[in-house]
């Protein structure tokens, strides 16, 4: 296995996992409307990266599995995913009137940020490997996709910055 295929495999796994995690966070926090909608938009980016990586991998005789269905706003998931989604969204709406889910949201945003950071580092490695190998086609793929991963990181960071003061100070008051 070459260095490039090693990174392709890790990144493919990471992007598909992030697509699933973003979609799951969107479901868990359905009552946080901005999180819900933007996370689904960003899940679509990662799902797209996953499929780009899968077709890229074929050029290196690497056969990667197809990503999970059911991510993004418009994909039709299998029945079980749909049911699970409904249950999670209901739970989110039932808990929507309580402050505690705020802390869970911060935790999810932190985890999403770390996952996106890991992917970003893998894109960096893939780009450098492509440069070293003078593989222009691969470099073009990296140039197309990596900026979106950086934007996913900025978004999670921004939302943490925006939401932390209210979530943490409302939990931190004595006697509550």
- The footprint of another protein (CB under 8 A) covers 31-34, 37-38, 40-42, 73-74, 96-99, 101-102, 151-152, 154-155, 157-158, 161-162, 164-167, 169-170, 173, 175-176
Q: In this structure, what DSSP letter does residue 62 have?
A: -
Q: What 3-state DSSP class applies to 11?
A: helix
CB 104 within 8 A of CB 144: no
- The residue (of 83 and 133) whose beta carbon lies closer to another protein is 83
Question: Minimum distance from CB of 165 to another protein (Å)?
Answer: 6
Six-digit token pair at 116?
A: 């996106």
Question: Minimum distance from CB of 33 to another protein (Å)?
Answer: 5
Question: Minimum distance from CB of 143 to another protein (Å)?
Answer: 10
Question: Minimum distance from CB of 6 to another protein (Å)?
Answer: 30
Which residue, among 16, 176, 24, has the nearest Cα to 108 in the 3D structure?
24
Q: How many other CB atoms are found less than 10 A from the CB of residue 81? A: 18
Q: In this structure, what DSSP letter does residue 69 have?
A: S
- The residue (of 58 and 151) whose beta carbon lies closer to another protein is 151
């Amino acid at each position: 296995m070459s260095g490039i295929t090693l990174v392709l495999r890790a990144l493919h796994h990471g992007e598909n996992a992030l697509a699933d995690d973003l979609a799951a966070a969107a479901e868990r926090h359905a009552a946080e409307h901005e999180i819900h909608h933007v996370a689904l938009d960003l899940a679509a980016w990662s799902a797209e990266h996953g499929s780009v990586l899968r077709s890229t991998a074929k050029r290196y005789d690497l056969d990667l599995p197809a990503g999970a269905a059911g991510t993004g706003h418009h994909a039709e998931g299998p029945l079980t995913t749909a049911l699970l989604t409904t249950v999670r969204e209901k739970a989110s709406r039932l808990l929507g009137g309580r402050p505690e889910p705020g802390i869970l949201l911060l935790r999810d945003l932190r985890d999403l940020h770390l996952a996106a950071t890991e992917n970003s580092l893998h894109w960096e490695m893939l780009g450098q490997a492509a440069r070293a190998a003078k593989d222009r086609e691969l470099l073009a793929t990296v140039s197309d996709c990596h900026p979106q991963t950086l934007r996913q990181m900025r978004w999670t960071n921004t939302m943490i910055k925006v939401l932390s003061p209210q979530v943490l100070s409302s939990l931190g008051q004595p006697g509550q």
